[in-house]
């Protein structure tokens, strides 16, 4: 006899039993999966020895992942019933949902999604069990060849010989899959298909284009409804739509993936840069500017040629090969090596608003959030090993001020460790990882471990911002680098008169300024705070009779450094107010005969409406009360 138990104290005694039978006996109706000895197991797993079983439900991250993966199978099952000639690629769970890449016999459109979704619900009502089978590679190839699934066969052919493969079946649908899955299709109750997209097979533009169907799934109807509400809110906040409407930026066919900034967008960009410069000057950073094009030999030496060349652009000058920089660090190193440095100069904090180019696949481009050229608010700090933790703590303090105090974001931190394609001495990697971890622990900063996701030259701390509707965005980073100083033979003269190797800290706070602007547009829904709004005040004259007074006010306000627009159109006042509201202008100053006679303006606040009549001195005092981190 064997004893089967859960951490909550449920117990069953038998010679053997399946996980599915146990959960039925224990009436664990919400269980979507099971974990034994730290590993997920199939519901068909037969247990014969004393075992502690951890039930997994949809209110756990692991359970939600299982549910979404199973719903992806449900989607493919429905497509097979509706389109028997369809062929299937991959269908993983992803953040907030799932997708499946499919070759359809003829193109489908968004109008077909409700039909597929309805078939999914019919299959869910049938409560078809997910059954796991294991096959050797040869038999798995035969199985999918007989079903005409050439994409699956190609996947299996790339798997190592001798490996036993698992297949999950649900009725007449079968998929190559490690699992695990929910007990049956009826466990997938709360789902929604969201959109279609094109996806190259294996993400390679040389391969055929498949149809990718995106969807989402949750453990309850309320969670699904809330997620769909957030998606609708996100659509209304889409920075690409708002960027066009607010005259901030555009993309043109003559330069795909490279944004064109319009006057309002440049106003925001310039304020971001002004704020950035003020804060860095306070913290003893110096600013440099390095060339955009550098000799290929530099990129070979830095390791970018071996680790990053697929994301780089190249050119030839005087028959010699050059590369357009994807990162600023090699140029910054050349600046450091331009002089001999003493330990008395360290730490050296060197900042650069570097314009970099990175080749992104066409399908990955997404407004300002994923572009091929962007401005990085970079900095490199050169220090001694003893100074590392204090410098990291100072960067964390700066980041917290900018993210939380200035822009109002909550955030969480990930510590990313050595990746498979890392370069350099593993012992130096261990030391770098330990220094980052100590800085986080000593400041009491919670963090998640993200194994294997460091840069190829060093481990890193990443900052993930959470916006007002709960989405997260990776922005800032702190990367600790012992490798580049070695490769470039960087030195400083120590107190002992000998040469020593500095440590290099790479860091960005805003990250890509273009991306950060896109995040701000969506977070504020285009209604920027007063200090950074592209247009801070719009003067609305009731008629052209008051043009002289209006222009006099405009010049006075501009002299105070305020960004002003005048609505000179021959339109009714109500329309001018509505248009200013749509343009998210923080303040509207209304000018009519009464205002001219009294030397005042009637002031409307974007969110509060009419806040009364003010003379110039009162207005400036009121505006001076607005938060402005550049002045504070």
Specify the pLDDT at position 632.
Answer: 59
φ/ψ (deg, to 5) at 59 = -85, 5
Q: Which of 211-215, 362-366, 537-541 has the lowest mean pLDDT?
A: 362-366
538: pLDDT strictly greater than 80? yes
Where is average pLDDT lowest: 4-13, 80-89, 339-348? 4-13
What is the H or E stretch that residue 391 is in? helix 388-400
- pTM of the predicted model, to two decimals? 0.84
Q: How far lies 33's CA from each of 23, 61, 537, in Å?
A: 10, 12, 57
Average pLDDT over residues 271-292: 97
Say which residues have a Cβ less than 8 Å from residue 463's Cβ, sequence separation at least 6. Answer: 399, 403, 411, 412, 413, 474, 475, 476, 477
Residue 257 banded pLDDT, cuts 50, 70, 90: very high
Question: Can you tell me the mean pLDDT for 389-397?
Answer: 94
Higher pLDDT, 487 or 469: 487
Q: Indicate the pLDDT class of residue 605, thresholds 50, 70 and 90.
A: very high
- Of the listed ranges 129-133, 159-163, 430-434, the least confidently predicted one is 159-163
- When mean pLDDT is compared across 70-79, 527-536, 623-632, the lowest value belongs to 623-632
Polymer length in residues for the chain:
632
573-591 as b/e, with b when 16 or more CB fall inside 10 Å? eeebbebbbebbbbbbbbb
**pLDDT beyond 80 at 432:** yes
Percentage with pLDDT > 70 across the chain: 100
Comparing 587 with 160, the larger pLDDT belongs to: 587
Q: Using an 8 Å Cβ cutoff, are 492 and 339 in contact?
A: no
Q: Tell me the residue ranges of DSSP E strands in 68-163.
A: 87-88, 93-94, 97-103, 131-136
pLDDT at 609 over 90: yes
pLDDT band at 160 (very low <50, low <70, confident <90, very high): confident
Q: Which of 433-437, 500-504, 592-596 has the lowest mean pLDDT?
A: 433-437
- What one-character-per-residue DSSP string does 328-379 give? SHHHHHHHHHTS--BGGGPSEEEEEEEEEE----GGG-BTTTB-SEEEEEEE
User: How far apart are the C-alpha atoms of 505 and 503, rounded to whole Å?
Assistant: 7
Mean pLDDT of 595-606: 96
Mean of all residue pLDDT scores within the chain: 92
Q: In whole angstroms, what is the distance from residue 427 CA to residue 432 CA?
A: 9
Q: What is the distance in angstroms between the CA of the first residue and the CA of the last residue of the chain?
A: 73
Query: Are 42 and 150 spatial neighbours (Cβ–Cβ below 8 Å)?
Result: no
pLDDT of residue 362: 82
pLDDT digits (tens, 9 = 90+) for 18-36: 888 888 888 888 888 888 8
Burial of 169 (0-12, 13-18, 19+ CB in 10 A): middle
**Percent residues over pLDDT 90 in the chain:** 74
Active site residues: 329, 358, 376, 378, 380, 460, 506
* Range with top average pLDDT, 25-29, 36-40, 161-165, 284-288: 284-288
Q: pLDDT at residue 191 above 80?
A: yes
> pLDDT tens across 85-133, in order?
999 999 999 989 999 999 999 999 999 999 999 999 999 999 999 999 9
pLDDT at 313: 95
Q: What is the mean pLDDT of residues 389-398?
A: 94
The residue behind tokens 């697929």 is: 310
Strand order in the sheet with 31-36: 39-41, 31-36, 54-57
pLDDT digits 0-9 by tens, 285-304: 999 999 999 999 999 998 88
Is pLDDT of 579 > 90?
yes
């Amino acid at each position: 006899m064997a004893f089967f138990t859960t951490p909550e104290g449920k117990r069953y005694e038998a010679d053997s039993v399946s996980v599915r039978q146990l959960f039925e006996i224990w009436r664990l109706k919400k269980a979507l999966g099971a974990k034994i000895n730290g590993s997920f197991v199939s519901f068909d797993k037969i247990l014969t020895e004393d075992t502690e079983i951890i039930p997994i439900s949809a209110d756990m991250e692991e359970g939600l992942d299982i549910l979404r993966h199973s719903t992806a199978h449900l989607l493919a099952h429905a497509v097979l019933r509706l389109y028997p000639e369809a062929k299937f690629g991959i269908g993983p769970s992803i953040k907030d949902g799932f997708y499946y890449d499919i070759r359809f016999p003829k193109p489908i459109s968004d109008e077909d999604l409700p039909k597929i979704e309805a078939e999914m619900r019919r299959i869910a009502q049938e409560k078809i069990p997910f059954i796991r089978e294991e096959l050797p590679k040869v038999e798995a190839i035969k199985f999918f060849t007989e079903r005409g699934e050439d994409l699956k066969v190609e996947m299996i052919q790339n798997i190592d010989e001798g490996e036993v493969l698992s297949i999950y079946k649900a009725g007449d649908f079968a998929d190559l899959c490690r699992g695990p899955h929910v007990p049956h299709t009826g466990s997938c109750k709360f789902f929604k298909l969201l959109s279609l997209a094109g996806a190259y097979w294996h993400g390679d533009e040389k391969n055929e284009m498949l149809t990718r169907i995106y969807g989402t799934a949750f453990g309850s109807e309320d969670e699904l409804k809330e997620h769909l509400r957030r998606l609708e809110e996100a659509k209304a906040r889409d920075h690409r739509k708002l960027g066009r409407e607010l005259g901030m930026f555009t993309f043109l066919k003559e330069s795909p993936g490279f944004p064109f900034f319009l006057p309002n967008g440049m106003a925001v960009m310039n304020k971001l840069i002004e704020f950035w410069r003020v804060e860095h000057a306070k913290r003893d950073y110096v600013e440099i500017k390095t060339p955009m094009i550098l000799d290929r030999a530099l990129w070979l030496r830095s390791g970018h040629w071996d680790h990053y060349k697929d994301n780089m652009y190249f050119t030839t000058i005087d028959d010699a090969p050059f590369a357009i920089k994807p990162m600023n660090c090699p140029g910054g190193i050349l600046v450091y090596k331009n002089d001999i440095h003493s330990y008395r100069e360290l730490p050296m904090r060197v900042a650069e608003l570097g314009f970099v180019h990175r080749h992104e696949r066409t399908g990955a481009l997404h407004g300002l959030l994923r572009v091929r050229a962007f401005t990085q608010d970079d900095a490199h700090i050169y220090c001694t090993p003893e100074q590392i933790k204090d410098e990291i703590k100072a960067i964390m303090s700066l980041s917290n001020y900018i993210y939380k105090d200035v822009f109002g974001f909550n955030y969480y931190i990930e510590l990313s460790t050595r990746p498979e394609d890392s370069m350099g001495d593993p012992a130096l990697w261990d030391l770098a990882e330990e220094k980052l971890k100590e800085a986080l622990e000593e400041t009491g900063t919670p963090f998640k471990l993200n194994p294997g996701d460091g840069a190829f030259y060093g481990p890193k701390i990443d900052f993930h911002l959470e916006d007002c509707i709960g989405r997260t965005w990776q922005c800032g980073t702190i990367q600790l680098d012992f490798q580049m100083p070695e490769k470039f033979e960087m030195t400083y003269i120590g107190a002992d008169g000998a040469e020593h190797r500095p440590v290099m800290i790479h860091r960005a706070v805003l990250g890509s300024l273009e991306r950060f602007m896109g995040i701000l547009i969506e977070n504020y829904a285009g209604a920027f705070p007063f200090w950074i709004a592209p247009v801070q005040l719009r003067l609305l004259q009731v008629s052209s009779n008051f043009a002289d007074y209006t222009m006099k006010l405009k010049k006075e306000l501009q002299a105070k450094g305020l960004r002003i627009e005048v609505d000179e159109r021959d339109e009714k006042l109500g329309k001018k107010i509505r248009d200013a509201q749509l343009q998210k202008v923080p303040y509207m100053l209304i000018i009519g005969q009464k205002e001219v006679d009294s030397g005042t303006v009637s002031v409307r606040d974007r969110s509060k409406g009419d806040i009364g009549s003010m003379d110039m001195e009162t207005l400036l005092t009121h505006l001076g009360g607005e938060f402005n981190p550049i002045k504070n």
